[in-house]
Amino acid sequence: MAVSCGAESIPRKENVSANGKKFDVKKEKDGKKYYIQVKSGLNTMNVGMVESLNEMIEKIEEKDSKNVGLLGMTFGNKKAISTQIMDNLINADEKIIIGNDFWDFISEKYNMSEELLNIVSKAAYNYQIKHKEKKISDLIDIKKEELLVQWENTYGGINKESLKKAEDVNL
């Protein structure tokens, strides 16, 4: 979503890593390149992940004085961020962009989060109309049942023996 709203993917050779973690997107703005690790929620990082992010930020900022490493969170506000993130992320107040500020920064458009919510809401409504008022969760349940019946018909049941048959046929 961030790429669709104005961020860019990062070429492999341009990115940095620490403990297998990398930045997710970048945003060029005002002569600087902002490298952002995006998290969907407020408290999705343990202390080890925060320490890896600190290393990544240090590495990317050492590469070029115009580089800035950030933690981007797709919703919430700074008051709700866990102490494990706030206490362990170096310069947390400067290195976190969150919620409305994140989306406005990425898109360079005021109130982008509200626009995104409207787009998602409209898409969900259109999907529901297209599928005769069924919710996506209902359609997932229907598909699950169809797949279980197909599995049972193909492999003679839904048990360990059927798993063994599937392995023998497909592996």
Residue 11 located in a structural domain = yes
pLDDT value of residue 61:
97
Same domain, 55 and 90: yes
Same domain, 160 and 79: no
Same domain, 108 and 144: no
What are the backbone dihedrals phi and psi of residue 34, each rounded to the nearest 5 degrees, phi first?
A: -100, 120
Question: Domain total for the chain?
Answer: 2
Residue 30 located in a structural domain = yes
Residue 127 located in a structural domain = no
Same domain, 108 and 140: no
Amino acid of residue 68 = V
Strand-pair category, 8-9 with 25-29: antiparallel
For the cut 80, the answer to whether the pLDDT of residue 45 exceeds it is yes
56-90 residue pLDDT tens: 999 999 999 999 999 999 998 888 898 899 999 99
pLDDT value of residue 29:
96
Mean pLDDT of 26-45: 92
Output the domain CATH number for residue 41. Answer: 3.40.1560.10
Range of the domain at 23: 2-113
Same domain, 92 and 150: no
Same domain, 91 and 160: no
Mean pLDDT of 127-145: 80
CB 98 within 8 A of CB 81: yes
Residue 121 located in a structural domain = no
88-118 residue pLDDT tens: 999 999 999 999 999 999 999 999 989 998 9
Intra-chain end-to-end CA distance of the chain, in Å: 37
Same domain, 141 and 97: no
Distance CA 73, CA 97 (A): 6
For the cut 70, the answer to whether the pLDDT of residue 2 exceeds it is yes
What are the backbone dihedrals phi and psi of residue 134, each rounded to the nearest 5 degrees, phi first?
A: -80, 140
Within 18-159, residue ranges assigned H as helices are 47-63, 83-88, 92-95, 99-107, 112-130, 136-155
Residue 90 located in a structural domain = yes
Same domain, 95 and 144: no
Q: Tell which wins on pLDDT, 93 or 163.
A: 93
Strand-pair category, 21-22 with 25-29: unpaired
